[in-house]
Chains A and B, each alone.
Chain A
């Protein structure tokens, strides 16, 4: 347990509705990441943050936005969910004294868009 909590753990929603996933960390680390995982695609980076209000796009950012108003929280928002966004979403952190290749992951959020 790296002090990362993702909520909710499971979510079922309908196409066109907004959805926000939350990642909360207890250790004040600067770098936070959102990944999605789908069969055959491994882990794909959606957005990441390198500080409060500092965020940038990853490989698959279309249809997603993020916000980081506090060090401990990194929010991922699907403005209008689509079935293609059905996936498992993982949040990750990088500890300050670790190389950027060493991330610690939360337990994930299973999102189903019907």
Chain B
């Protein structure tokens, strides 16, 4: 199948750096994307890695290594508003289906 595995919860301190990992058992997909969802809200797109390596967007960076079947989202200079759930997602070649991991709940403490 297309399962993507994420830790269920991560806790970090305001101002710190946190890494949320995503591992998968699927080959033959286009890339890996990340979404953020605050409680009661809709998922919003954060970043996309179409190629291996690091993509940086402000305080957020995302990384993909196909050889290691692994990706991560890196959040720097954590703020209280970063407390949310984060999902990785990918789609197989010749498929329009975007499949999500079960999500990581990030709690940022003062």
* Residues of chain A at the chain B interface (Cβ within 8 Å): 31, 33, 35, 40-45, 48, 50, 56, 58-59, 90, 94, 99-108
**B87–A42 touching, CB < 8 Å:** yes
Contacts of A42 in B (CB 8 A): 87, 100-103
Cα–Cα, bound, A35→B101 (Å): 13
CA–CA, A35 and B90, complex, Å: 15
The interface-forming segment of B11-19, B41-49, B53-61, B76-84 is B41-49
* Of the residues B33, B42, B48, B102, contact of A106 by C-beta under 8 Å: B42
Docked-complex contact A40 and B102, CB < 8 angstroms: yes
Number of B residues near A (Cβ < 8 Å) is 23
Residues 90-105 of chain B, each 1 if its beta carbon lies under 8 Å from chain A, else 0: 1100001111111100
A33 near B98: Cβ-Cβ < 8 Å: yes
Per-residue 0/1 for B15-41: is the Cβ within 8 Å of any A Cβ (1 yes, 0 no)?
Answer: 000000000000000111100000001
Residue pair B42, A99 in contact (C-beta under 8 Å): no
Chain A residue at smallest Cβ distance from B87: A42
Question: Is the CB–CB distance between A99 and B96 below 8 Å?
Answer: no
Complex CA gap A94/B97 in Å reads 11
